[in-house]
Amino acid sequence: MTLPLSGPAYQQAVERAHGELAALTRFPGRGLGQLRGEVADSWRRSLVNLGGPAGRREPRMVSDDDLRDVRQGHRLSPVLPIIRRLLVDPALDAGLIVALGNAEGQLLWVEGDPVARRRAETMGFVPGADWSEASMGTSAPGVALYSGRPVQVSRAEHFHPVVHPWSCSAVPLRDPADGRIVGVIDLTGGDEAVSPLALPLLSAAAEAVQSAWRDHALPAPVGPPLAMPSPPGPDAGREVLVRVTGGLPPRVSGPHGTWCEASGKHAEILTLLDWHGPGLGGAELEDLLYGHHAGTTLRAEMHRLRRFLAVSVPSLSIRSRPYRLDGGLVTDAVLARDALRRGEVGAALSQAAGPVLPRSVSPGITEIRRQLEADLRESVLENAGIEDLWSYAGRPEAAGDLDVWMTALQLLPADSPRRSLAVSAVERLQAEGA
């Protein structure tokens, strides 16, 4: 391979190859132009496992309790200080992320630059997520675990469009005793993540880890490692952030970079109270939450929510008469809504990873979901540049939206390799009568 992975000529060839994926379902032996062999092979496996790459795909997730158990029992836990010294500290300075996964592809720790980590959350690159090839298609950790070799995957080489802004390098971790794969170390970010230094740096860290295992120099884990504190970010003034958009379980962020999973009903209440900032009377909240008056049920649910907050985020409380939040909470749904009101389409797309609580049937949440989706779509169609529009086109709600793909065709330059994907989508939707 003579062309650099992140070079524009090679990336254009890769984007053209995406236009040929549909043909691979009919002609599995067909070549993919200049695409590297290990990436082309992974694309073919991904087609078999996942179908086409169109639309947004969420990784499979494990619960917080299961993640805690897996972390405590994994051999990576006692060697975390080595990895943090050799990889995480340099990654912080370079704006990169270091992810550690088990042999099944579940990410156990994701650490590094806080801004990059927040961006990565929108595609589900978080602890507990399954980034094996069978779950998310072609990515460096997935291919490294499948092949057993160090791997680099740059931008459009990823199978799913939602991962195209990213590049990553990964090396498998092997048991020194028998050589079996027991985990993976991944470096994710911009083009720096696939620089010539990335794989040697990862390989050196992997050798240090395997040497520590071989020498039995470190004690067995006694509990989950402490979460690394994050420097203040864009929401530093808002102490508690609640992620309620996209396909991942709703999560509540504490003030020191820690996360805990919230139940669906708790997330619904927090979303409704944040969206209706001045507060909601009991009857109003009941109607929005249940569609009818359910006084006893609501009071019991509020009691459980207050108890959850007292343990997880004691700085936050809920006042009554009317019900309202006290202590500085914001949901990513409200951050996206406010960004749209300022005309910042890119920021809104970054905050809203997908529909609001997509599994909820609460009347109030259903209306918030519909309103935010409609406002986001209108803003994208009227005001977005091609990069934001292309990002939106990769979402599940845009997969069947002919207007979105037609607008993309209008904005894409005539020589853009992305046009083949847009043309294919338009032809498919027109044939389906969308």
CATH match of 64-215 with 3.40.50.300: no
Q: In degrees, to the nearest 5, what angle opens at C-alpha 306 toward C-alphas 265 and 292?
A: 40
Asked whether the CA dihedral 117, 357, 101, 158 is positive or negative, the reply is negative
Other Cβ atoms within 10 Å of 281 Cβ, number? 12
Most confident of the following: 60-69, 222-231, 357-366: 357-366
Do 64-215 and 240-331 fold alike per CATH?
no
For the entire predicted model, the pTM comes to: 0.59
Say which range, 172-176, 193-197, 220-224, has the weakest mean pLDDT: 220-224
- CA-wise closest residue to 1 among 44, 31, 28, 38: 38
pLDDT in tens, 245-271: 887 778 887 655 567 778 889 999 999
Which CATH number is 240-331 given?
1.10.10.10
**H or E segment to which residue 147 belongs:** helix 140-147
Domain ranges (residues) in the chain: 8-50, 64-215, 240-331
pLDDT band at 295 (very low <50, low <70, confident <90, very high): low
pLDDT of residue 271: 94
Residue 325: partners with Cβ closer than 8 Å, 6 or more residues away: 270, 273, 274, 316, 317, 318, 319
| Upper half-sphere CA count for residue 49 (Cβ side, 13 Å) | 17
- Parallel, antiparallel, or unpaired: how do β-strands 240-243 and 107-112 relate? unpaired
> Which tokens is 269 given?
């209440």
Q: Is 301 in contact with 269 (CB distance < 8 Å)?
A: yes
**Residue 181 in 3-state DSSP?**
strand
Mean pLDDT of 48-74: 77
- For residue 2, what pLDDT is reported? 36
Model confidence over 2-60: pLDDT tens digits?
346 767 777 777 877 777 665 555 444 455 667 888 898 898 888 877 877 664 467 88
Rounded to whole angstroms, the Cα distance separating 252 from 269 reads 13
Q: Is the pLDDT of residue 354 over 90?
A: no
Closest CA to 99 of 121, 69, 66, 73: 121
